[in-house]
Amino acid sequence: MGKLALAAKITHVPSMYLSELPGPNNGCRKAAIDGHKEIGRRCRELGVDTIVVFDTHWLVNSAYHINCGEWFEGIYTSNELPHFIKDLRFAYPGNPQLGRRIAEFAVERGVRAQAHNIPSLELEYGTLVPMRYMNEDQHFKVISIAAWCNAHELEDSKRFGEAVKDAIDAYDGTVAVLASGSLSHTFIPDRIALGNMNNYTREFDRQVDMHVVELWQQGRFKEFCAMLPDYASCCNGEGKMHDTAMLLGLLGWDSYDQPVEIITDLFPSSGTGQINAVFPV
């Protein structure tokens, strides 16, 4: 029987990569990078062999999709922000077996899901950024799941998360699951973007994000799940917050009541709200 060893909501802001480079932004995301490294360390300590990433930077318009290739390798430049991420080299093993099982269990739950082992299907930076800091030595197999679900319902993403847990239970191994996406996601208007990389766009978003983190720390997920659709809409949640719905489906939805551990404190990035937080399993 498989084991879910770690679950987390994480940031993947491209300024983390920019933070590594010489220049005025060097070191600006050290806390976020350190948070990723700590999560990677815990995964090793817990015997994790595969990391599943719900990636809100992978946009899909129909069905749920799982990228479970045997091997991922390449050089990535972001077409969204090429001045932030360019020529990022990566190489990670995949886990087609577990990816196929996730799709099978999702279909059993009435969710339209497909698993893909296609060498030309590339990873998005919602997966590549955390893997850069958690999996530089290729210790973990990687599965990436589209979580920018443009024409989907949060209820279906909840059921998809339940299917991921079914697949992990049936898997002969140990798995970590990461919901890779922001909290609020209202970008700074371009004409004032310079000089505002470390600020929120709206005070409203900051206040709601702080309240959400407080709910999480107190294990008040019945309240959070009730507000999630409005939160995603009113605060422009990244990928419509389908990654968060998947994560909570995996954990038990509104019956989940564990106090969340904050690894990297809530911080703004180009107007959006970001965090690294571990959800005890």
At 224-255, the pLDDT tens digits run: 999 999 999 999 999 999 999 999 999 999 99
Q: Which residues of the chain register pLDDT less than 50?
A: none
CA distance to 25, 32, 40, 85, 134, per residue, from 19 (Å) = 6, 10, 19, 10, 16
pLDDT at 25: 86
Count CB neighbours of 205 within 10 A: 23
- The pLDDT, as a whole number, for residue 1 is 81
Closest CA to 227 of 216, 238, 217: 216
This model's pTM is above 0.85: yes
Q: In whole angstroms, give the CA distance from residue 265 to residue 47.
A: 26
The candidate with the shortest Cα–Cα distance to 142, out of 123, 165, 160, is 123
* Superfamily of 3-279 according to CATH: LigB-like (3.40.830.10)
Give 54's DSSP letter: E
- Rounded distance between C-alpha atoms, residue 99 and residue 222, angstroms: 30
pLDDT at residue number 203: 98
- Domain extents in the chain: 3-279
Q: Residue 138: what pLDDT?
A: 97
User: 46: exposed, middle or buried (C-beta count within 10 Å: 0-12, 13-18, 19+)?
Assistant: middle
- 94: helix, coil or strand? strand
The helix (H) or strand (E) run that includes residue 164 is helix 154-169
